[in-house]
Amino acid sequence: MSASADTLPTVDDAVALGLTRDEYASVCDKLGRAPNQVELAMFSLLWSEHCAYKHSKKLLRTLPTEGPRLVMGPGENAGAVDVGNGLAVAFKVESHNHPSAVEPFQGAATGVGGILRDIFAIGARPIAVLDSLRFGEPSSERSRYLLDRAVAGIGHYGNSVGVPTIGGEVYFEAPYETNCLVNAMALGIGETAKLVRSAAAGVGNVVILFGASTGRDGIGGASVLASAELGADDDKRPSVQVGDPFEENKLIECSLELLERGLLVSLQDLGAAGLTSSASEMASKGEVGIDIDVSRVPLREADMEPFEIMVSESQERMLCVAEPGCVDEVLALCEKWEVHGTAIGAVTDTRHMRIFRGDELVGDMPVAALVDDCPLYDLAPERPAQRLYPAPTRTLDRDAGPREILLALLASPNIASRRPLFEQYDCMVGSRTTRRPEQADAAVLTVGDRAIGVSIDGSGRRVAADPYTGAIEAVLECAANLACVGAEPLGLTNCLNFGNPEKPHIAWQLSEAVRGLGDACRALGVPVVGGNVSLYNEGTEGPIYPTPVVGMVGELPDASRAAQSGFAREGDAIVLVGDFHPRLGASELAKARGDELPDGLPEIDLAAVRATHEAVRAAVRAGAVRSAHDIAEGGIAVALAECCLLGEIGADADPDCNEALFGEQPGAAFLVSGAPDDIAPLGRVIGTVGGRKLKIGACSWSLDELREAHGALAPLFP
């Protein structure tokens, strides 16, 4: 910011911080004067796209948010659903895209740290992390570097903090070359009655900051880095935060002990916009005011200005409100856990955010102006008249036969084994994990005497072909993964990754995708409990594929009956379950052939798909199914090959060996195996488990050659 402490910043300063000229005028109108340096910094952050969702909030209000098991919904740090016996599972997914494109290790690591804080901020103990990643093609040196460092950052933070990374997904597509996506999802478990909300309350109560000291890392991240397109010459590395998982571990234990002892009125993590967002949002939700004295904030750098302290995004910090009589005990617990608790302010009845430096008032803003009156914009969606994305580079001859196609698809970046990546994560710490990556379509964790299944999914290429239907497919794919382990969906969280919403074609993608998410959730009876929106994911080469990532949590009564993905027993029947109408458009085979994206995807019978999911789920719960795998990328042929490889056993299937084997209809159909009499009623018997080869009609492949193809990514990521 160019203005000195004694000079009022100008409208040009406001524009440099991400506000428009009209928004700056609105700030002046709400204050009745021009904002000073502290105030402008705070408005620029809270009115940024990253914090205010000013281009998406109206759309998000159309999503279904009520459900019989809902405990905590949108508007809190994380959503939560009831899993019985007085317990609730909290979960949320968020993005750290722009920071990861600038500095992938710290960008991804602090993304994990931030989503974990959202979980324990409501009083739930974090028990798992999943990640959803998108990069350019692995032939790109830059993409391999971003992937390598992002995976290392996720592993470093999760492994160090002691929370298992139990699942996720990685896709490679050219439109993510400049702007990678790093979405992190976390889950936690807590007593339903003891979950806490973030609203500040009680005039005269004390505001306490605890955790790491405050520095200049992350300043401007929400407004400058996360609410604008990435330019070719931008130097935004200073806006990337630096994380410390060992500090976070202490923060988790301290926060949960403070809540267990009943010492806190409210609790909030410091994420994007730091003290500015945490304090202002607590005040807004509680309909109170808050005074903060920045001279009391523990600093790493002694010469920080008040505005820097208020907008710093230094990691591993929490803000809480406690009654005056509890302050000494709160600070004593902070000292025990070595997290530097400091009383920095108080709750007031002014409905203003007032920032002091000792006795000097350096900022005074109505809470409503900061948080509630941020301008919300109507989108101007317009279906594009021409193709937005170039055809992918051809990697497979168009005259290749089915035998060659299957091996090529198994070796393709979006289907090949992710083992070299997920083996960098500790998936077992905490001793709750009963189905690990590649063992089942969804991860399974024990919770008391029951279990939960969790999955995360999305397909940017299919959403690019048809935003409405592609978004529906993302929800169905997630629900199908849960059905494979016998889990009934209880709630959904989403991360909407899109380009610049001020452009009509991006506004159309976003609007149609949200409409699809809403219709799919209503059809399945699954509420949206919260999520995240990441816009302006564009670089010099254009926008990313529109990528709504969906995370879903479900409940199952018996973890031991969760079906594995791989075939389990010689002689078992293989049954195709579902009304399956696959198409090659937007499929992995179409990508390998270099085909343009189709203009739309086939309509989906949501009622029929839900009935299919319910039938598979019931059969898994009844113990009738020994393996269950949904048919996704690569169609039936790839699904059969994966079942063989994961079970280390062959199969003989009867479909004709032609390119129809590779058509796709995500979330609509399953391959299940088991005793013939037990599973034949589920659908059409198409084969038998057994031998050391996969046979499909007249074609056959040895397990060894399937395994060699499926391991194609390993040399790239040793």
Enumerate the active-site residues: 50, 96
DSSP readout, 77-133? SSEEEEEETTEEEEEEEEE-HHHHHHSHHHHHHHHHHHHHHHHHTTT-EEEEEEEEE
- The beta strand positions in 478-559, using DSSP E, are 488-497, 528-534, 538-539, 542-543, 547-556
Q: Which residues of 232-255 are buried (b: 16+ CB within 10 A; e: fewer)?
A: eeeebeebbbbbbbebbbbbbbbb
Instruction: Tokens for 100, please give them.
Output: 């990861």
DSSP readout, 53-72? -TTTHHHHTTS----TTEEE
Decide: helix, strand or coil at residue 281.
Answer: helix
Dihedral of CA atoms 44, 50, 55, 61 in degrees, nearest 10, equals -120
Residues 6 or more apart from 240 whose CB is under 8 A from it?
A: 99, 102, 103, 106, 107, 110, 217, 218, 221, 225
Separation of alpha carbons 236 and 216, rounded Å? 13
For residue 705, give the nearest of 661, 654, 644, 655 by alpha carbon.
644
Residue spans of alpha helices (H) in 373-446: 402-411, 419-422
Instruction: Tokens for 64, please give them.
Output: 């279904």
Cβ(421)–Cβ(133) below 8 Å: no
Separation of alpha carbons 460 and 455, rounded Å? 17
Task: Give me the sign of the Cα torsion angle 199, 204, 209, 215.
Answer: positive
Instruction: Tokens for 105, please give them.
Output: 């290790």
Residue 128 pairs in a beta bridge with 187
- How many Cβ atoms from other residues are within 10 Å of residue 380's Cβ? 12
Instruction: Tokens for 88, please give them.
Output: 């609730």
Pairing outcome for strands 342-348 and 206-211: antiparallel
Separation of alpha carbons 355 and 361, rounded Å? 6
Cβ(478)–Cβ(455) below 8 Å: yes
Residue 198 Cα to chain centre, angstroms: 21
Residue 652 Cα to chain centre, angstroms: 38
Cβ(224)–Cβ(311) below 8 Å: no
Residue 441 Cα to chain centre, angstroms: 18
Max Cα distance, the chain (Å): 85
DSSP readout, 642-701? HHHHHHT--EEE-S-SSGGGG-B-TTS-EEEEE-HHHHGGGSEEEEEE-SSEEEETTEEE
Residue 523: enclosing H or E segment and its boundaries? Answer: helix 504-524
Separation of alpha carbons 341 and 317, rounded Å? 10
